[in-house]
Structure 1
Amino acid sequence: MRSIRPWVVVEPPDSRGLRRVVVGEETVGRAWSAGELRRILGRLGHPEDLDLDDTAAFCWRGGDSGTWPDRPGRRHAVTALMVTGLLASMALNVVVGWPDALGALTFAQRINGILFVLSSAVLGAAAVAALDYGGKRQFRASGAIVLLGVLIALATDSLLLFMWLEETEFTPYVLVFMPLWCWSVWALCLLVRNRSWKEVPQPKRFAAGVVVTALLTGISLAYSTMYQPAAAPMHLTLKAEFGKARTDRSLGFLQVPLTLYMKNTGGIPVYILNDSYRVFGRGAVYSENPPDRDLTREWRDSAGRRGEDTGESELYVGDLTYTTISSGHFYGPGNRLEIGEEYTRKHVVQVPKSAKYDILGVDLTISYMRKDRGKIDVAEFKVPHYSWNKYDKQYYCSPEKGCLSQIYYHGRVWHNDNLVNLTRKPRYVTAFWSPGRIPDSLISPYDFRGKAGGVGKEKREWGRYGAAQADVNSEVSLAELLAPPTPLLPPGYSSQVPTLTP
């Protein structure tokens, strides 16, 4: 005997057009359409040709058997767009974090890289949850997981966009994170409007977890970019000293020992970008200064004849000339100096005995870069290129164009924060060296191919990569170098001549 109570109840459609199906007192499924309703009942053993309008068997609430407001095309498109954006964001976070997680030079930066890699795992889980959230939502927390993934994507894309706006240089990644930023804004608005977190069993704990994760990420970034550079200063100690001169009788030259010394006394390893030492001899014409001379003019003439912009002048010395005797690299571009590491070079300077020098001097100049801020392609940077080499068309510069004869060192440099690398054009470090000249080096987009920016940003890049320059100058009187050594006397022996008493 059939019960007068309908045994199938179809509830009103929800906001997405999904209708809950109840048999007896048990929910047996949810249907988007009449065909799906028949399949649900068919799995329970009922024939698929049931009369859906049979009021004795079906009770329709909020519409009849023809009320199916679902728009499957739009629903599938939204779900596909949500999943695609989450997967693309997952790939982007892997690209951002993986190099830092494996190869960053500081512990804090490696933690940042690991956080980006872990966040990509969350984005992958969110992509899987988006399939359920766009479907029948059998997992209650799927909406919250999708929301968390979208918030991570929005944070990453916003950070990349903010850093890109500092320089507004085109990179291939702009075509990735800018569309993803627009997508994340759309996805967040959609999820907030649908209150995707409402099915979470404990929404307050979920919100607290999101806040804690954001705080930890912010603290880690602040530590790596602000605290650590200040806590680990960079400093080099340089020394340049002449030794006692010796005469080479067979050649008629003076042999002057020179000791050059460098030590990393700071808290950060460094790359040497460029270095040079220059030994010079100073010649001068000495003059007495009678009281009737114009002293002001004497000072002015002395300062104007020095030949160098030193800001110095000497009253009794005029017609100053400076002649480079020896010049070269000290440690070499591209070499690294670890914390506490030191390097000493001993060099012998040959000075003709007939040379009219009164003073020997040495200038030692070194430019260097923090190793925790960037990584140089050392294999490329160490290769010297000669401006006069016609066969090296990339670096050749003819003297007819006003080019100096100099040696170039050029190589790619990467910032230690991969976020910077993704939002900037490639950066290169270039060093210029020629005998007797102050060495020069710069970090810029310039790559000797004429298409990658100019050299106008080198000062900003110099600070961004933590580059600096150190130098030391030393002078010694040639008379002092040639003075005979003071003989060593035995203990108790007096150097005074004894006085004879009659």
Structure 2
Amino acid sequence: MGIRAWVVVEPPDRRGLRRITIHGKVVGSAWSLRELRKVLGRLGYPADMDLDDRSCVYWRGGDSGVWPDDRGWRRRVVIALMLAGLLGSMVLHVGIGWADAIGALTFAQRLVGVLFLLAGAVQGAALPAVVDYWGRRQVRLSGALVLLGVLMTLATTTLLLFLWLRERELIAAVLLFLALWCWSLWALRNLIREKVWRGIPHPRKFAAGVTVTALMTAISLGYSSIYKPIAAPYHFILKAEFGIPWTDADSPYVHVPLKLYAKNDGGIPVYIVVDDYTVWGHVSEFSASGEGMKEWNGEGSDSGSSQAEAFKSKEVLENIASGQFQGPGSTLDSGEEFSMEKVVTIPKGTRYETLDAVLQFAILRQDRGKLDDKFYSSKRSWVQSEGRYYCQPDVCGKHVIYHGRVRYNNNLINVTRKPRYVATFWSPEEEPQVFISSFNFKKKKTSEPIYGIYEALDENEVEKEADRYGLSWVSVNSEVSVKGLLKQAQH
């Protein structure tokens, strides 16, 4: 054998790993005599080399029999648990961030999504760092990457558990949040025991970077969830106007044009969840004594439409025409407008004194929620083959139903509670109804009438969800004299 360099085996560190140097240069490390022979074999040393020969190998801190802490099974268990936790946390971060990063309406919400995707990328990079840090530690930053991934997991799961505690709904995901939270505490404890900060080149800059990232995420969450919805109120311009009627000498009817118009004059695009226009004919008896007000009974006070006149008595409203405007699921972006013209037919000898046109619709703010595609398909309540909701028309009447899931624009909210659904009921004979709740027709088939469903719902939940998603009603009405219209009629 030719002359070979003197091999020096350094003392074992506290993990039992012994570095191998040749001419002061580290060429490898080993946890056992067997691993030492593998390292030397790769460098060209013979397999039967006498490792106890001091002319070839110099041992520091103990001879070839000193491998005090070689607990390979323990290291492998720690590595497996670290990898499992970081992998689960990476999937969680990507799952939360992806929906917001590609589908959120506002820049702040997209920024939050991107931050979660970046956190997932960091945790993905920390996976090989785990193997290196609990292995031979050839990469100086491996410990810092693992620590950063663990801190991200702890921060995110703490936030998720806090959000879940606000709702306290029984969901399977909370088990994952709790498991990852406990794992992050265990992992952080292990890293503290390992004094991982010793391997970080600039620990103060590292701590500052983590703090800035956390503050950016908190500010973005607050801006997108609280400030932005408040600072950008919605505003609509609505019109319901009767035009000049026309008739024919041979026809007993008068045709009255009705123009409906809506414009989103605010800064927030919205979904129209349900809409309706109705034309009412007013019939009342004349009260010569002027005591018509004494018959007022407060009907309609809930909607703010109560009224009374001294010389009107026993006023009756009759539904002349009713229909949908744009249709549930349609949208009105900021600055967008929509108009429709209809023709209302009344007899020439009508007993109606006035006509009242009402345009109303319920809106859902797009900066707070997003409707599922299934919401756009309508169901008829009186057709049993169409499935999820059926009720005999002689019991419940006839309703066109729209039903689908609604997702909050901040995906952190979606993953910490049960799914929410929007259900709307429209009928030309009744006021349109809409509610958001956890009630799902698909899983809870029902044959109850609408009022039965409402009674089964949690009223507090319905009000809370309406406020959360910005569900509200906008309306306008226009009243004209029938005699005045008839005088304007064109022949």
Counterpart AA for 1:273 = V
Q: What is the SS of the residue equivalent to 1:100?
A: helix
Partners of 1:19 and 1:305 in 2: how far apart?
90
Residues 252-310 of structure 1 deviation map (CA, whole Å, 9 limit, x = unaligned): 222222221111011011111011111111111112227xxxx6xx5332336899974
User: Out of 398, 403, 413, which is 2:396 matched to?
Assistant: 403
Determine whether 1:389 maps to 2:383. yes
Letter in 2 for 1:348: V
Q: For the Cα contact (< 8 Å) 1:365–1:439, is it kept in 2?
A: no
Letter aligned with residue 86 of structure 1:
L
Structure 1 residue corresponding to 2:333, chosen from 334, 338, 358: 338
The amino acid across from 1:331 in the alignment is Q
How many aligned residue pairs are there? Answer: 471
- Please state whether the residue corresponding to 2:417 is helix, strand or coil: coil
Do the aligned partners of 2:161 and 2:177 also contact (CA within 8 Å) in 1?
A: yes
Kept in 2: contact 1:171–1:422 (CA 8 A): no
- Deviation (angstroms), 1:91: 2.1
- Return 5+ residue gaps in structure 1 as ranges: 1-6, 486-502
Among 429, 442, 446, the residue aligned to 1:449: 442
Q: What amino acid does structure 2 have at the position aligned with 1:108?
A: A
1:372 partner letter = D
Shift of 1:188: 1.4
Structure 2 CA distance for partners of 1:342 and 1:23, relative to 1, 3 Å: closer
Aligned match of 1:34: 33
Alignment pair present for 1:366 and 2:366: no
Amino acid at match of 2:481: S
Task: Give, in whole Å, the separation in 2 of the partners of 1:434 and 1:80.
Answer: 60
Q: Is the 8 A contact 1:324 1:436 kept in 2?
A: yes
Query: 2:439 aligned with 1:440, yes or no?
Result: no
Conserved in 1, the CA contact under 8 Å of 2:33 and 2:64?
no
Q: Which of 478, 483, 488 in structure 2 is aligned with 1:479? A: 483
- What does residue 124 of structure 1 align with? 124
Identify the residue that residue 95 of structure 2 maps to in structure 1. 95
How far 1:129 moved relative to its partner? Answer: 0.8
Cα distance change, pair 222–351 in 1 and its aligned pair in 2 (3 A): same
Moved more, 193-202 or 385-394: 385-394
Which of 348, 351, 370 matches 1:353? 348
Select 2:306's aligned residue among 301, 311, 314. Answer: 311
Contact 1:303 1:314 in 2 (8 A): no
Given residue 139 of structure 2, which amino acid in structure 1 is its aligned partner?
F
- Please say if residues 275 and 365 of structure 1, whose CA atoms lie closer than 8 Å, have aligned partners that are also in contact: yes
Q: Residue 409 of structure 2: which of 413, 416, 423 is its match?
A: 416
Q: Give the CA deviation at 1:147.
A: 0.4
Instruction: Supply the RMSD in Å over aligned alpha carbons.
Output: 2.8
Alpha-carbon distance, 1:357 to partner: 1.6
TM-score (norm 1): 0.85
Higher helix share: 2
Residue 210 of structure 1, CA deviation: 1.5
Question: Which residue matches 1:224?
Answer: 224
What amino acid is the match of 2:12?
P
Q: Which amino acid aligns with 1:238?
A: L
Task: Provide the C-alpha distance between the structure 1 equivalents of 2:15 and 2:143, rounded to a whole number of angstroms.
Answer: 14
Identical-residue share of aligned pairs (%): 49
**Distance in 2 between residues matched to 1:304 and 1:267, nearest whole Å:** 38
1:318 shift after superposition:
0.9
Once the two structures are TM-superposed, the CA of residue 169 in structure 1 deviates from its matched residue by 3.3
User: Secondary structure of 2:199's partner?
Assistant: coil
Contact kept, 8 Å, 1:96 with 1:116, in 2: the verdict is: yes
Q: Is the 8 A contact 1:52 1:65 kept in 2?
A: no
Separation (CA, whole Å) in 2 of partners of 1:243 and 1:321: 24
Match of 2:323 in 1: 328
For the 8 Å contact 2:31–2:67, the answer to whether it is kept is no
1:355 deviates by: 2.6
Could you say which residue in structure 2 is the equivalent of 1:180? 180
Matching residue's letter, 1:35: R
Could you tell me which residue of structure 2 aligns to residue 249 of structure 1?
Answer: 249
Cross-structure match for 2:450: none
Q: Is the 8 A contact 2:352 2:482 kept in 1?
A: yes
The one-letter amino acid of 2:370's match is: K
Give the Cα–Cα distance (whole angstroms) in 1 for the partners of residues 299 and 18 of structure 2: 98
Q: Take 2:427 and 2:332, find their aligned partners in 1: how far apart are those partners?
A: 23
The structure whose Rg is larger is 1
- 3-state SS of the aligned residue for 1:198? helix
SS in 2 for 1:431: strand
User: Where does the alignment leave 5 or more consecutive residues of structure 2 unmatched?
Assistant: 1-5, 446-452
CA displacement at 1:359 relative to structure 2: 1.6
Tell which deviates more after alignment, 315-324 or 161-170.
161-170
